[in-house]
Amino acid sequence: MTDVTRYLDGRTLILLSNREPYEHLAGEEGIHVRQPPGGLVSALDPTMRRTGGTWVAWGSGTADRETADEIGRLGVPPFEPAYTLRRVWLDDADIAGYYLGFANSALWPLCHLLIQHFEFHREHWECYQTINARFARAVYEESLRATGAPQVWVQDYHFALVPAELRRLTADIFIHHFWHIPFPPPDILRLLPTGVPETLLRGLLGNDLIEFHTERYTHNFLDCVREFLPEAQVRGESRRVAYDGRQISLGVFPISIDVDAFERLALTEESDARASALRQRYARGGRALGISVDRVDYTKGIPERLRALDRLWYESPELRGRFTMIIVATPSRTELVPYKNLEAEVLAAVREINDRYGSAEWEPIVLIHENIHVELLASIYRAADLCLVSSLQDGMNLVAKEFVACQVDENGVLVLSRFTGAAEEIEEAVLINPFNVAGFADGIRAALEMEPGERRRRMRAMRQQLHRSTIFDWLAGILARCAELMDTRPRPLAEVERGPVVHNDTLGTDANPSNGTGTTDGAVWSDMR
Ligand code: ADQ
């Protein structure tokens, strides 16, 4: 892992994300701790362990209150505290308004251009503002405890208003923000009531640096600023905005995965055995095996994928019995109606396809409708001959990268929607448009028929490219850019007076009631969004 501590130059990193890196859960055998192994946590937790600092997040676990002090702080990892987790409490109304409401029923569909799912409620917007202010206050309090000059890193669309609110509380603090999903063009943002887009953009312009996956999202952001905040000066060529007497920079930093970790998981003896067993079961006698992995979310194009498969088996009867598709589809945000409906639609479509084309020896689609352990995921990726990613819009899409990392035998073909951030980065995938069902079916057919030599050439090129751009390169790129920007800023007086910087202390064991209370179950993925 690249040593990123040098870019911090002794500053204290304060990270803000909606989901926390360690969640305490009450179970039958007492309290246990779980670490969600999503890309973000697996990159940032080791970093925080090395740099110290504080991670501020929603305390979502059922035993989170009992395992933190009275203001929600505890040292983590629980058995070997290296940094501080500051939990912020939300009640059911907060979750309904801020998280399920404005963040996931307004911003999420708008940013993905899927306006048929867009819902605006004034109470949700008010709640979003209140909760953003609450998180900004928590970050501010943590910044006052920091022993080194603080550098705040905000994650995602849950916190568009935090940067401006935090800057109101402490003007000189360095704040940057990674936006994990697409950023929409002005015509889409205009669907929000007057005043809301302006407030969101002003919130984001509280940052010193805003990071996106692709150039396109950066352009959309700048177009929105031009349109809604005429008082701001946009300098497109240098990707900067001058606003309120400050300079805000934008950067393109495509996120990635811990490539070596996935590769190692795919290469273990157990994984080898599991991959052989999977092929024996689903791909016997020259049959091909396909895989897809997503949360059940309308952005992922799951019904479109099923339509393409239906068309393929309808048009090409010779492919019936020659190709099995494993669809891993994890329930997500099931409290929301569009998600509940989508789940029912997916289950019904899978049943229909299996009834229509299946036989006593062959089930066309094997649906795994739950979270699976990352070890099993790596084995399935390794065993598969093709991976279908069919998002209607997707900020990046990590599944595409995980598949490539686990293809250690270099046999697989990646069929990738052109509407993912990944498609702008990965060369040699078979690109498809999920809205064009016939074209999508052709793409799958082309992947199935591709010569072994061509498959190997493409996969090898994708793997080489991926190794040059891991999650640690992403992290180092962002922190290096922050260091550059901080160097060009005059050092605020408070920081000069603070004297030599040292790492933030984590809470001692006394203040950490969670110590020794359980096990880390790192293998189960949890819905990070
Ligand atoms: P997501 O929309 O969640 O992320 P994605 O990037 O594909 O989408 O990441 C999903 C992660 O969940 C992957 O690591 C995948 O392996 C895992 N996962 C999904 N289903 C699973 C299951 N059943 N069992 C186990 N693991 C499962 C958002 C944006 C993306 C962006 C990321 C990171 O929407 O565009 O790539 O953030 O910035």
For 66-93, write each residue's pLDDT tens digit. Answer: 999 999 999 999 999 999 999 999 999 9
Q: What is the DSSP letter of 193?
A: P
Kind and range of the H or E run holding 441: helix 437-449
pLDDT at 218: 97
Is the CB of residue 432 below 6 angstroms from any atom belonging to ligand 1? Answer: no
Residue from 387, 397, 402 to probe ligand 1 pocket by mutation (most atoms less than 8 Å from CB) = 397
Q: Indicate the pTM of the whole model.
A: 0.92
For 112-151, write each residue's pLDDT tens digit. Answer: 999 999 999 999 999 999 999 999 999 999 999 998 899 9
Q: Is the pLDDT of residue 95 over 50?
A: yes
Report the separation in Å between the CA atom of 329 and the middle of ligand 1, taken as the mean of its atom positions.
Answer: 11
Which residues does 454 contact at the CB level (< 8 Å), separation at least 6?
none
Is the CB of residue 295 below 6 angstroms from any atom belonging to ligand 1? Answer: yes
Q: Is the pLDDT of residue 489 over 90?
A: no
- In whole angstroms, how far apart are CA 168 and each of 137, 163, 247? 10, 9, 16
User: Ligand 1: which residue has its CA nearest to atom 18?
Assistant: 294
Report the separation in Å between the CA atom of 388 and the middle of ligand 1, taken as the mean of its atom positions.
Answer: 14
pLDDT, the chain, mean: 91
Better pLDDT: 152 or 472: 152
For 260-269, write each residue's pLDDT tens digit. Answer: 999 999 999 9
Ligand 1: nearest atom to the Cα of 421 = 35
Contact in structure between 235 and 242 (CB atoms under 8 Å)? yes
Is the CB of residue 398 below 6 angstroms from any atom belonging to ligand 1? Answer: yes
Sheet holding 233-235, edge to edge: 73-76, 83-88, 54-58, 12-16, 150-155, 174-178, 209-212, 246-252, 240-243, 233-235
User: Ligand 1: which residue has its CA nearest to atom 15?
Assistant: 399
Could you please report the per-residue DSSP string of 227-291?
HH-TTSEEETTTTEEEETTEEEEEEE------HHHHHHHHHSHHHHHHHHHHHHHHSGGG-EEEE
pLDDT at 4: 80
Is the CB of residue 402 below 6 angstroms from any atom belonging to ligand 1? Answer: yes
Q: Is the peptide bond before 77 cis (omega within 30 degrees of 0)?
A: yes
Is the CB of residue 394 below 6 angstroms from any atom belonging to ligand 1? Answer: yes
Indicate if the alpha-carbon torsion angle 510, 513, 519, 523 is positive or negative. Answer: negative
Is the CB of residue 181 below 6 angstroms from any atom belonging to ligand 1? Answer: yes
446 vs 76: CA distance, rounded Å: 48
User: Ligand 1: which residue has its CA nearest to atom 28?
Assistant: 180
Structure tokens at 120: 């605006």
Contact in structure between 462 and 404 (CB atoms under 8 Å)? yes
**3-class secondary structure, 397:** coil
Ligand 1: nearest atom to the Cα of 374 = 25
Q: Helix-strand-coil percent breakdown of the chain, rounded to 5?
A: 45, 20, 35
pLDDT at 500: 44
